[in-house]
Amino acid sequence: MQHKQIETEDVVIRFAGDSGDGMQLTGSLFADMSAIFGNGLSTFPDYPAEIRAPHGTVSGVSGFQVHIGSGEINTPGDFCDLLVAMNPAALKANAKWCKPTGMILVDADAFDEAGMKRAGFQTDDPFTELRVEDRALIIAPITTLTEESLKDSGMDHKAILKCKNMFTLGMACFIYSRPLEYIFTYLEKKFSKKHPEVIAPNKKVLNDGFNYAANIQAVPNTYVCPPDMHKKPGLYRNITGNQAVAWGLLAASEKSGLPLFCGSYPITPATAILEELALHKSLGCKTLQAEDEISGICTAIGASFAGNLAATTTSGPGLSLKSEALGLAVMTELPLVVVDVQRAGPSTGIPTKTEQTDLAQALYGRNGECPIPVVAAHSPANCFDAAFNAAKIALEHMTPVILLSEGFLGNGSEPWLIPAMADYPEIKPPFVAGTLQEGEKFKPFERDPETFVRKWAVPGQKGYEHRVGGLEKNHAGVLSSDPLNHEMMVRERAEKVAKIADFIPELELDGPSKGKLLVIGWGGTYGHIKSAVMEVRRQGKEVSMAHFDYINPLPRNTKEVFSGFERILVCELNSGQFAAYLRDCMPEFEYVKCNKVQGQPFLVSELVQAINKEI
Amino acid sequence: MATLTFKDFKSDQEVRWCPGCGDHAVLAALQRVLPQVSQILDYAKERYVVVSGIGCSSRLPYYMDTYGFHSIHGRATAISTGIKVANPWLTVWQACGDGDALAIGGNHFIHAIRRNIDINIILFNNRIYGLTKGQYSPTSKFGAITKTSPYGTVEHPFNPGSLVLGAKGTFFARSLDVELKLNEEIMKAAALHDGCSVMEMLTNCVIFNDGAHKDISDPAVKADRTIVLRHGEKMIFGANKDKGLVYDGSRMKVVQIGVDGVTMDDIMVHDAHSDNIALHIALADMKGPDFPVALGVIRDVEDVTYDDGVRDQLKEVARKSTIHCVDDLLRSGSTWEVK
């Protein structure tokens, strides 16, 4: 069967199935393979909180979207060119994401009466019912074909059924002209030690899927998405945001010469950071899986007092539990990195869905006047630099720092040009130096006159014995409830954080420095905003953008950048928390809000619309 | 190393506990025992870190001229854990109260014991919240009348000993604030114990719970209502040293020596190092009127410690790993070259 091969600039594929169908693995494999092929890419796992949600139901559908391209790819894509639906529920939950020109590949065997009923279809024609009957439909009996493919493999029936995703991946590889070698290598690496017996059957089923797609009429064309030829030369890898946070902290540990200690409690979607750090004991990293979130941060504070680079990783509900201890870190002026991989809230909310709704909590969520620097990561790979910079600020300015990540960044991945550690700056904490004179007392809260940073005397140093704690004290560290001393200390702690603005990069402006509209955002919305701004420019309109990696303090040129524009469009995945903060900091500008609180990232199309409305 | 003295551990801060408070005596015992411990273990003063939570007793770090951390309510045990794991060379002492460690901080307390992290916890038990001025605590007696239980509590108290041993604690000792010598003795034993040592100090609160432990501490009754356990010694007590404990395999019994044919040979010898935790729990649980309250080191057994485990694993993994710096890490696994 001859297929026409079409060259395409970018392709979005969405793999969807039951949460036990292996869609996350299928999607990641396709992504990794494309990365190695040289494509730009971005991924977005979208899965339910239940490990094995009720079989065949819409609530149990797990999805993984991957966007590959011949150029720079900034988002996982709004709509897909190929939707893979392993059962009726997956089709029902995801049909709306298929482009009008897209293809839908389904496992025909799953579309029996029972499956259709579980997914809640009213008719026996799911495609018409979902109004996607005009898409290119590839209705393949994947279950039967997988069973047939592996009938002589010696595997039991249950194990054979688990290979359906590999058959499907084989089909997708044919459609997008991907050689299977990469996946073969992956399978060999992964299973050669523990389960060598599964390698051959998986290879066979992949091949059979590939060949089946090649032989059927239903696949209209095949596509090829050439590699990104403008990519900077160098060694690349694919990296998720959570992995990048962990590695960024390890990098800061190396550059500061301080062992890394991470005290954390498992919580979706931040757990992978703790898991990743637990792997790297060879770099001297100590991980403590604490009995609760409070112990996570308190063990970290203890470790910080004892001279380690200390971190605790969590998500929104965990950050709430850590609030009191965060105040203790502010009061004792000890370095600490708190990573919040935000998820949909409030309370338990929608744990596996992404949001930017913890900004106000990070800025204000503590008793007393309790300023904490807040930084944000803007892409999965950027989580590395964000974590490194958060640790650098914490260690050099003797303060806890909150790093805001998002489920979308933590679980999402992109190719990353591997940096050399030689290009990263040293981190120099303000350790006390030398020995004290006879009779001289160390004053733990005496400040550097420029930065307001106190000195760090780590226990074990002779002569520097001192006490820290949550009570107010004077510069000498002696407890004090003197009203004026308290007010001075409150002001100095705030001033110390404000002065960090002198040490962080200035806000970068993308586009003309004067105009009608400046589009801004913070954190994980970067790729979507950038894509939207590029689209608006393609439409011939002028618009500028700036993205905030540093929220408290704001970059010192923020006011200057803002003053070139009539209006500022603040795009964020909450009801307007950054906008409210900016209004508070700089009330003289006109802010327009663009918000979404659906547990989902922006669509580029939504942002294009919002921008066009303002210009 | 110069010999340290009591004075070396005394800070220049004025001690602000109420006159007559039991905490004074515990502080004095600690300041007396640390020079001795330093000599035995060859520890310099800068190796000590004293950690506390919130409450009257948690003021203690300010009175010690060591590195100190006065943390937040209930969290001392978590802070201590972090310090010890981060730098096992430091020796950590912790002061905490019954409300502090057993109510708001109960979770950290049992988990530090379960992990057997090498810290020394002094649990000041006055059966009341003192700093907030007199509310019942998790160790207040059933029916205790306090500001928040004007008609008496309707809840059972914790016995800290059974809590510690229930969590498979490796060291538990108990004493009364006024027993200066015994306090030094158990603190020294705790310092020498490798693992989580819990010392329950029955302290008096002169203001909000005066006579908290009078039923056993009153000189008129103390000898008959308490028993001081020492490893390898017979379990005898009483003003005339004529009472003792026997164990018939399932139950503890108080017997009178010389009565009903009971001789000294029948009396149990205390084995603090025994792995029979049930016996130690039985000893820790003893209470009046049928039994004397056990003081001294009730349990002191060896087991692997968390901090040693962390350190050993780090070494072991580093020995086997091919990743020795972040550059190695970044280049590990699946990568590709763009030319």
Would B151 be classed as within a structural domain? yes
Best of B48, B54, B72, B118 to disrupt the A interface (most A CBs within 10 Å) is B72
Distance CA A121, CA A118 (A): 8
DSSP classification of residue B149: B
Q: Which residues contact A510 (CB under 8 A, 6 or more apart)?
A: A530, A533, A544, A545, A546, A547
Question: Which residue of chain B has the CA closest to A472?
Answer: B70
Question: Which residue of chain A has the CA closest to B313?
Answer: A281
Distance CA A292, CA A559 (A): 41
Residues B77 and A302 sit within 8 Å (Cβ to Cβ): no
Q: At what angle do helices B180-192 and B23-41 cross, to 10 degrees?
A: 40
Q: Which residues contact A540 (CB under 8 A, 6 or more apart)?
A: none
**pLDDT tens-place string over residues A96-126:** 999 999 999 999 999 999 999 999 999 999 9
Calculate what percentage of chain B has a pLDDT beyond 90.
Answer: 96
- The pLDDT, as a whole number, for residue A446 is 97
Choose among A339, A405, A409: nearest CA to A372.
A339
Cβ within 8 Å, pair B325-A254: yes
Residues A403 and A583 sit within 8 Å (Cβ to Cβ): no
Question: Which residue of chain B has the CA closest to A282?
Answer: B318
A67-76, A215-224, A324-333, B78-87: range with lowest mean pLDDT? A215-224
**pLDDT tens-place string over residues B29-38:** 999 999 999 9
Give the SS3 label for residue A479: strand
The CATH H-level (homologous superfamily) assignment of domain A237-423 is: Thiamin diphosphate (ThDP)-binding fold, Pyr/PP domains (3.40.50.970)
- The pLDDT, as a whole number, for residue B199 is 98
Q: Is the peptide bond before B289 cis (omega within 30 degrees of 0)?
A: yes
Both tokens of B148, joined, read 């928040």
Give the SS3 label for residue A338: strand
Would B279 be classed as within a structural domain? no
**Residue B14 structural domain:** 6-212
Question: Which residue of chain B has the CA closest to A227?
Answer: B338
Calculate what percentage of chain B has a pLDDT beyond 70.
Answer: 100
**Cα distance from B313 to chain A (closest Cα, Å)?**
8
Please name the member of A281, A284, A299 whose beta carbon is closest to the beta carbon of B82.
A299
Both tokens of B253, joined, read 């019994």
What residues in B contact A299, CB-CB < 8 Å? Answer: 78-79, 81-82, 85
Best of B10, B16, B67, B312 to disrupt the A interface (most A CBs within 10 Å) is B67
Do A4-224 and A509-614 come out as alike in CATH topology? no
Please name the member of B46, B75, B81 whose beta carbon is closest to the beta carbon of A460.
B46
Angle at alpha carbon of residue B42, lines to B39 and B48, rounded to 5° = 95
Please name the member of B90, B324, B334 whose beta carbon is closest to the beta carbon of A459.
B90
Q: Does domain A4-224 have CATH number 3.30.70.20?
A: no
Residues A458 and B47 sit within 8 Å (Cβ to Cβ): no
User: SS3 letters for A395-434?
Assistant: HHHCCEEEEEEEHHHHHCEEEEECCCHHHCCCCCCCECCC
Residues A357 and A345 sit within 8 Å (Cβ to Cβ): yes
DSSP classification of residue B205: B
CATH class of A509-614: alpha beta
Tell me the β-bridge partners of A402: A338, A374
Please name the member of B46, B54, B85 whose beta carbon is closest to the beta carbon of A459.
B46
Residues A245 and A387 sit within 8 Å (Cβ to Cβ): yes
What residues in A contact B49, CB-CB < 8 Å? Answer: 305-306, 459
Please name the member of A236, A238, A301 whose beta carbon is closest to the beta carbon of B82.
A301
**pLDDT tens-place string over residues A560-599:** 999 999 999 999 999 999 999 999 999 999 999 999 999 9
pLDDT at residue A24 greater than cutoff 60: yes
How much is the ipTM here?
0.97
Would B267 be classed as within a structural domain? no
Mean pLDDT in chain A?
A: 95
Residues A299 and B307 sit within 8 Å (Cβ to Cβ): no
Give yes or no for A181 touching B (CB within 8 A). Answer: no
Would B200 be classed as within a structural domain? yes
Both tokens of B188, joined, read 């020294």
Give the DSSP H or E segment for B197: strand B197-202
Q: Output the CA–CA distances (angstroms, integers) from residue A176 to A31, A69, A99, A105, in the order listed.
A: 12, 12, 17, 13
Domain ranges of chain A: 4-224, 237-423, 509-614
Cβ within 8 Å, pair B336-A282: no
Give yes or no for A443 touching B (CB within 8 A). Answer: no
Would B230 be classed as within a structural domain? no
- Domain count along chain B: 1
**pLDDT tens-place string over residues B49-104:** 999 999 999 999 999 999 999 999 999 999 999 999 999 999 999 999 999 999 99
Within A456-596, where are the H helices?
483-498, 526-538, 558-562, 577-585
- The pLDDT, as a whole number, for residue A2 is 65
Would B332 be classed as within a structural domain? no
Calculate what percentage of chain A has a pLDDT beyond 90.
Answer: 88
Once rounded to an integer, what is the mean pLDDT over residues A323-348? 98
DSSP classification of residue A35: H
Distance CA B280, CA B302 (A): 14
Residues A583 and A573 sit within 8 Å (Cβ to Cβ): no
Distance CA A22, CA A3 (A): 29
- The pLDDT, as a whole number, for residue B1 is 60
Give yes or no for A294 touching B (CB within 8 A). Answer: yes
Would B199 be classed as within a structural domain? yes
On the 0-12 / 13-18 / 19+ scale of CB atoms within 10 A, A326 is buried
Domain harbouring B36, CATH code: 3.40.50.970
Distance CA A518, CA A561 (A): 9
- The pLDDT, as a whole number, for residue A4 is 82
**pLDDT tens-place string over residues A508-557:** 999 999 999 999 999 999 999 999 999 999 999 999 999 999 999 999 99
Question: Which residue of chain B has the CA closest to A286?
Answer: B310
Best of A32, A235, A281 to disrupt the B interface (most B CBs within 10 Å) is A281
